[in-house]
Structure 1
Amino acid sequence: MANITLAVTGSIAAYKAADLVSLLTKQKHQVTVLMTRAATQFITPLTLQVLSKNKVHLDIMDEERTEVVNHIELAKKSDLFIVAPATADTISRLAHGAANDIVSAVALALPSGKKKMFAPAMNTNMYVNPLTQENIQTLKKNGFEMIAPKQSLLACGDFGEGALADVQDIVTAVQIKLKETRI
């Protein structure tokens, strides 16, 4: 099937990455997980390693093979790159071309034509903030497809738009994107 690179960022919704990895691997996809340091505060890398049966990548400077540059190699082998959950911070860094962690470095190194998706997850006020909306539009203009957040009671107690899309909806969006590209 496909080589999917799942980038998990520091949102309370990071725990849902376990279900996402599990469902994608059950569909016979090869899932490689990247995590920001903040994401590791919400879910352990070991959980995602066990479910994906692959090493979880945490550090841009962790070069496991001397003959390749890790973040470049990860980008090249990815058929589909998805950030779920995508925090406001990560969306901003991706929109502005930052490459200071494993997630943003791999995203920036993706060869032209690679399929890219993101599923925002954040507080409603952060999501509707004009700066976040501008960053989302920048990502869309640069080939990222957004899996829209839903309205829900958020972890902070607020109700509104910003909750991570349901895991099954994310999987469905991934399946549709992969069918478009015939992977």
Structure 2
Amino acid sequence: MKRPHILLGVSASISAYKAADLTNELTKKGYAVDVLMTRNATKFITPLTLQSLSKRPVYLDVMAESQPNLITHIELAKKADLLVIAPATANTIGKIANGIADDMVSTVAMAVHPGTPKLVAPAMNTYMYQNPVNQKNLNYLKEIGYKEIEPREAMLACGDFGRGALATIEDIVAAIENELAALED
């Protein structure tokens, strides 16, 4: 039986460190996990950490093509059984919603087949999350097939209390498994 192939996009949120736990949980469950990171995400967690947990390369640079006969972001997108972006910043959400593909996460998101399940787990300040522009972008992503794993209400890294904390790892894994199970039906 083929191991489901998950693309995990990590963007530059303080909660990026939780991508280690998510990668570890998904790998333990037998999923093949390819991690895609924005450059700024590497300021919160190192690619080596995620590579060590996934046992696979971490992808950062759209222009770094190690195999001349392949276009990495297209090949990753073709192999994907599911795309999840966790954490998803307002910046990354906005890029994808507006067709901007200027980093590995947004470029692969643009290249994933329309029928591939796509999940987005926002993590940001409450006011950023509630901002009408961010909400418009999230609503548009939902219109085109993304599902939101809603953020939690908690004390945020900035000291504010409110909705914006990354969903729990358990909730993210459950959402992934629900989407993958629906593919089997």
Structure 2: distance between partners of 1:35 and 1:110: 16
Structure 2 gaps, min length 5: none
TM-score (norm 2): 0.97
SS at match of 1:25: helix
Partner of 1:60, secondary structure, is: coil
* Paired position in structure 1 for 2:151: 149
| 1:84-127 Cα deviation digits (max 9, x unpaired) | 00000000000001111111110001112111001000000000
Aligned partners of 2:173, 2:10: CA distance in 1, in Å? Answer: 15
Q: How far, CA to CA, are the matches of 2:44 and 2:127 in structure 1?
A: 21
Secondary structure of the corresponding residue to residue 177 of structure 2: helix
Match of 1:105 in 2: 107
Q: Which runs of 5+ in 1 are unaligned?
A: none
The TM-score with structure 1 as length reference comes to 0.99
Q: Aligned equivalents of 1:136 and 1:62: distance in 2?
A: 30
Q: Which deviates more from structure 2 when the two are superposed, residues 104-113 or residues 151-160?
A: 104-113
- Give the fraction of aligned pairs with identical amino acids, expressed as a percent: 54
CA RMSD of aligned residues (A): 0.8
1:69 aligns with 2:50: no
Residues in 1 aligned to 2:114 and 2:135: alpha-carbon distance in whole angstroms: 24
1:35-46 equivalences in 2 (<5 Å): 35-46=37-48
Residue matched to 2:137:
135
1:28 to 9, 27, 30: 30
Alpha-carbon distance in 1 for matches of 2:23, 2:139: 27
Aligned residues: 183
